[in-house]
Structure 1
Amino acid sequence: MDEFRVIESPADFEDAVRRLADGEGPVAVDAERASGFRYSQRAYLIQMYRRGSGTFLFDPPQIPDFTALEDAVHAEEWVLHAASQDLACLREVGLDPDHIFDTELAARLLGMPRVGLASVVEELLGIKLAKEHSAADWSTRPLPQSWLTYAALDVELLVDVRDRLAERLEESGKAVLAGQEFAAVLTREAKPAAAEPWRRLSGIHGLRNPRNLAVARELWLARDARAAELDVAPGRMVPDASILAVAKAMPQSRRALADLREFTGRASRSELDRWWTAVETGLATNQLPAVRVPSDSPPPPRAWAMRNPEADARLRLAKDGVAEVAERLEMPVENLLTPDHLRRVAWQPPAESGAAGVAAALAALGARPWQVAETAQIIADAFVEASQSVQDAASGGS
């Protein structure tokens, strides 16, 4: 088995760039982060493979400038598996492709039953790919050889996978729509930072009192600040469940906080003063958070029947129609049309009736041309049927 080494010196970097530039065809790319271990989402290893060049494992913390590599390969097609997971950390170091082929997304569009890389490789190439290091702490140095071998295999087979998927996309008539999907992933804007990120606490919806929410907020903010300072994943310091336990118990003293059995985590006692200060702030603050946050999103569909029967009928009938199209195209419904797009047009239908109005509304939400072409008429017809069914029910079915 080949021995792999990490590229970290200027001389090795220059040699890798030259060899990748001299290679042929698409460039397979992958990145390894330390999610669950580090606060940041930076890349701690970047893997590239190109036919005629070989496999290269770059160490981003040791390489101050990736400009030469970007200049050498950005115009080539990059092959990634689940590109949306890696593009941000690649761009963070200055690596940004002009166009991509996403093997996971292609597998979804083809209706493959399992779309993880190991499953796709096994189905298309007949090779079993071990995934035992997928959740490893890639900030570890030095990286064990077994980890490097695992990382290299992730890209060495990716171009072959891409070729098989491209053939299937052509055969099924899905090559054009796949291109639109790949372009959408590449150009999708990052979500803006949440105004109140502490509301992402798991289980936060169980708190119904503003004072409890204030304690949860202050603990989250204290944990987040310390985690960022230490570059440690927040949950490794104090889990979300522990913050929620404190917010529910509302301890009135430092000792009561320390005695709370549900308050666990590696830093729950070693940094007890920090957490107690946060609890005190939450108990005393006059800036209480709202229990419910205004949103421009439609309410949960389960509430539609009571609040807006016609919207409920529109959604139910349109979902059935879209599901039939997805079945015909042999792909998951969510890849045919983003569920939130359908909910939004069903809750507040466009002023312009018919397929043209639905098409414009979907396009404004970000639906791709092929998605609009496949679903707009189906949805418009469902809306007409829903309106008629509600009118018939109101008139007693006459």
Structure 2
Amino acid sequence: MSILNSSEPDGIEITHSEIDPSLIQRANEIRNRVLTFRQDEAAEWGEKIEQTGRIPDDLWERIRTLGLHKLTQPMSYGGEGFPLSLYFPILEEVAHCHGAIRMIVHAYNSLWRTVGQGSKDQQNEWLSKMINNGEVIAFALTEPDNGTGIDLKTTADEKDGQFILNGRKHLITFAEEASALTVIAKMSGESGRDGLTAFLIPNDREGLSLEPMPEMMGDKGCSHAIVTFDNCRVSQDEVLGDIGGGFGLAVRGFLDQSRACIAQSAVGLAQEALNATLQKVRSRTTFGKALASRQAVQMRLADMQVAIQSTRLLCLDAAQKFDQGQDISLEASIAKEQAIGMVKQVTDNALSLFGGSGYAVGSPVERLYRDARSLWFEEGTEEMQKMTIAESLLTNARRRERRKKHH
């Protein structure tokens, strides 16, 4: 059966002709493990999170026991080594669950890629900690007044063989739980992309402080923090990659694949919303007729599935190209932009078809509706994706024009 049908509850196996069959078998085993978790445990964990507003420590441990914290990490460090095209069907199943569960799995399986671009010593230390000890790395890029672009104001001054960081980041997910932060800062006196450098800083470093942010609308339980650097000293050994290479490390090495992961997460959440809606319209009767028998309802259901499947295919395209070593900045932004519109459409329609009962806290679609909104912002808004797409189109057009002139 096809990898594209990964949202079905039973009997579907991941296949891919160019991947080691033993890896495919392992991915299917873990996907089935996630299906069992979804059916037997996920709802109860979700209820606990909604009631307490925090992720229980036992859930972090459960995620690690299931092996969901090391799906994409290299085999050489004890990870499963799954390419994105095998990881995405698993991530989609996880995204049917509470948003905090999805967030944990995504953080583990994407954020390690920042460390993965570091020195051999950094990889040996931190990838081992993440895989063997379940430690978390947070990614500190976004700033309260400057967004996530090249206009970042957090600075790094080089002095006496060290770097002194000053500035603020905000909306940093799991900063409180993290053992270290990957921080993108601007070298003093530099500007543009070449002025950005990445640092890997332990969370207990003097001059680094955390301030919890207000609870968010969805993905309850996930912590977000303001991170302040006040003359925070960082050694040469804590530079990730090359000085001036922070933009490439952040965008090409992490954000592009993470955007595709967020899009795939939206597919799983939307499929769960559609599945719940199908159950509702088949059982609900209005004016003597089943809601599912009405043509207007059927048209909405069809539109929802078309939107989900088209986004799933865009995610698969990005995953396969990433696995082949291609630059997927365009494909990831297309998938993310499509996913934002799709998850809006599907969750809006789900709430509408449920009627007033869907608006009640605890309904099958109320939490999904809230969690879906976080996916609008993770790794960039709809407008940011369109800017990336337009930049790529115009750059490619200029290249074609230059080639014509040379010929």
TM-score range, shorter chain: under 0.3
TM-score of the superposed pair, with normalisation by structure 2: 0.26
| Bigger Rg, structure 1 or 2 | 1
Q: Name the one with the larger strand percent.
A: 2
TM-score by length of 1: 0.26
